[in-house]
Amino acid sequence: MSERDVFEYALLRVVPRVERGECINAGVLVYCRARSFVAARTHLDETRLLALDPDADVTGVRAALRAVEGVCAGGAAAGQAACDDAGRRFRWLIAPRSTVVQPGPVHTGLTADPAAEAERLLELLVR
């Protein structure tokens, strides 16, 4: 059996009308401290989003989701977070905010492959 490490994850939710509180899952954030790994996997179901709000800014939501992926990737795409380690980027992304794209609560698990875990969670919880 391969070595398994603790990981944390949070859903990315799209709340098109914050005052109503309705949301759809549009991605996952995965962080594994032991492997200095942080990643976001996203999938936006436009039909579901537009069912909640026919006037939703789909282009803006896609841009916000890409920005989260960029922060996770680090480097120039991460903007001000470029020099931060994986843990600081994850903690910044999971901080509560009242915007259209919001993080959900953090959960934990064990994994031997954090990248595969991100794909599994995207399939299970988002798609």
Range of the domain at 39: 18-125
The answer as to whether 30 is a domain residue is yes
The answer as to whether 46 is a domain residue is yes
Question: What's the burial of 59, exposed, middle or buried (CB within 10 Å: 0-12/13-18/19+)?
Answer: exposed
Residue 25 to residue 14: CA distance in whole angstroms: 6
pLDDT-derived band at 114, boundaries 50, 70, 90: very high
The answer as to whether 103 is a domain residue is yes
The answer as to whether 99 is a domain residue is yes
Residue with tokens 């939703």: 56
Whole-number CA gyration radius for the chain: 15
Task: Give the torsion sign (CA, 3, 93, 125, 46).
Answer: negative
The answer as to whether 5 is a domain residue is no
Residue 1 to residue 126: CA distance in whole angstroms: 29
pLDDT of residue 1: 53
Q: Is the pTM of this model over 0.85?
A: yes
The answer as to whether 10 is a domain residue is no
The answer as to whether 104 is a domain residue is yes
- pLDDT tens profile 70-113: 999 887 777 777 788 899 999 999 998 878 999 999 999 999 99
Q: How many domains does the chain have?
A: 1
The answer as to whether 33 is a domain residue is yes
Phi, psi of 37 (to 5 degrees): -115, 130
